[in-house]
Amino acid sequence: MTSKATTVSNTTSTDIKTTAPATTKQPISITSSTKISAKTNPPADPDQDFDQVTPPSSQAGESSWTYLDDFENEVLNLVNKERAGAGLQPVKSSQGLHEAARVRAKELTKQIDHLRPDGSRFYTAIKIPCLASAENLAVGQSSAQEVMNAWMNSTGHKANILNPDLTHLGVGCYGSSYHNALHWIQIFALIPSSEKYHNNAYDEEVVRLINQERSQHGLELYSMARQTHELAKQQAVYYSQHNSFPSGSYPFQHCVKTVLIGSWGSNALDTPQKLFSSLKERYSNEIILADYSHIGIGYYHSWEGNFIHWWGVVAGDPCD
């Protein structure tokens, strides 16, 4: 889990800090899976190359090469059919990913690789913000069903198609059905919702889980007053915007405050249970089992950089 935390008191100050993992401004490539050609099965060695499929010369009818909308739309439908069969949410069509996939499909006529002809990674073709991306490619299959069969029979490609963290898809199909030379690209990405919102039900559930734990240890249950709740929510919002805590003192004799930050996948922190588990692992004595009377939990959803989920936590004894 990714988290950043500072503990403060009106009389003494002690820092509890955990460092977030290094991140990159580029979208994360979840996997660049093996290449598939129409005439061979995917090799066991992912670095083994297939025979290149050379586009016909202009004398052979290069002008007939184009993007094939119907095939692209059919691949999207087939992907969501596979995901539904696996109990997953469908991926949404993305115009930005569609444009990137078309660029990449055409580039396959020059070089069949997850690297682009200029040597850059495939995700440099993506011109929209995303947190993670993955690419599948194939050359030579004559129909959407044929290329999907090939991808689903390859472990790496299937993993991309059935990755529950990926939310959007763009498909590119470039070539000539007349010459039976089609170049296929799928670009998947995680594109979080841009909505900004709190979730009071999440906050209350975390308090319930904490109090359940305190009860098992014979401790007084926490109270979450409106003021404490609002402080935690404001803290989460401020930290998402400034990467620091709000200035000024808190209305407590003694208190501990922290912000836990979630991204995606195993580091999502997107449910009350995940937040509680992270608090229990990291701050059991400082927060969950601390000798305080009040707590505030504030969830905030906001896609900022590489992070999506922000939790403000305040625990302490209010001033008289």
The pLDDT tens digits of the residues spanning 60-96 come to 455 578 999 999 999 999 999 999 999 999 999 999 9
Distance of CA 307 to the CA centre of its chain: 9
Query: Which residues have a Cβ under 8 Å from the Cβ of 233 and sit 6 or more positions away?
Result: 198, 203, 296, 298, 299, 300, 312
Domain extent at residue 222: 195-316
Write b or e for each residue in 34-65: b if 16 or more Cβ atoms lie within 10 A of its Cβ, otherwise e: bbbbbeeebeeeeeeebeebebeeeeeeeeeb
Decide if 213 is inside a domain. yes
Domain boundary among 150, 167, 192: 192
Nearest Cα to 235, choosing from 214, 260, 212? 260
Q: How many structural domains is the chain composed of?
A: 2
Decide if 259 is inside a domain. yes
Q: How far is CA 44 from CA 31, 36, 152, 159, in A?
A: 16, 12, 15, 16
Please give the helix or strand (H or E) that residue 71 lies within, else none: helix 69-85
Decide if 4 is inside a domain. no
Between 3-7, 179-183, 210-214, 237-241, the lowest mean confidence (pLDDT) is in 3-7
Residue 21, pLDDT score: 27
The answer to whether the pTM exceeds 0.85 is no
Decide if 305 is inside a domain. yes
Q: Is the pLDDT of residue 38 over 90?
A: no
Distance of CA 243 to the CA centre of its chain: 20
Kindly state the average pLDDT of the residues 137-142: 93
Q: How far is CA 119 from CA 12, 24, 217, in A?
A: 55, 19, 59
N residues, the chain: 320
Nearest Cα to 315, choosing from 270, 281, 279? 279
3-class SS at 216?
helix
pLDDT digits 0-9 by tens, 163-215: 999 999 999 999 975 666 899 999 999 999 999 999 999 999 999 999 999 99
* β-pairing verdict for 36-37 and 132-139: parallel
Domain boundary among 160, 192, 224: 192
Decide if 310 is inside a domain. yes
Kindly state the average pLDDT of the residues 264-282: 95
169 and 216 housed in the same domain: no
148 and 96 housed in the same domain: yes
What is the domain-level CATH number for residue 145? 3.40.33.10
111 and 216 housed in the same domain: no
Residue 289, pLDDT score: 98
Decide if 227 is inside a domain. yes
Residue 41, pLDDT score: 29
Tokens representing 153? 């029979």
Mean pLDDT of the chain: 82
Q: Is the pLDDT of residue 221 over 90?
A: yes
Kindly state the average pLDDT of the residues 269-278: 97
C-alpha 127/C-alpha 27 separation (Å) is: 10
Between 39-43, 74-78, 167-171, 233-237, the lowest mean confidence (pLDDT) is in 39-43
Between 59-63, 93-97, 247-251, 253-257, the lowest mean confidence (pLDDT) is in 59-63
Domain boundary among 167, 192, 217: 192
* β-pairing verdict for 3-8 and 294-304: unpaired
Decide if 39 is inside a domain. no
Q: Is the pLDDT of residue 316 over 60?
A: yes
154 and 239 housed in the same domain: no
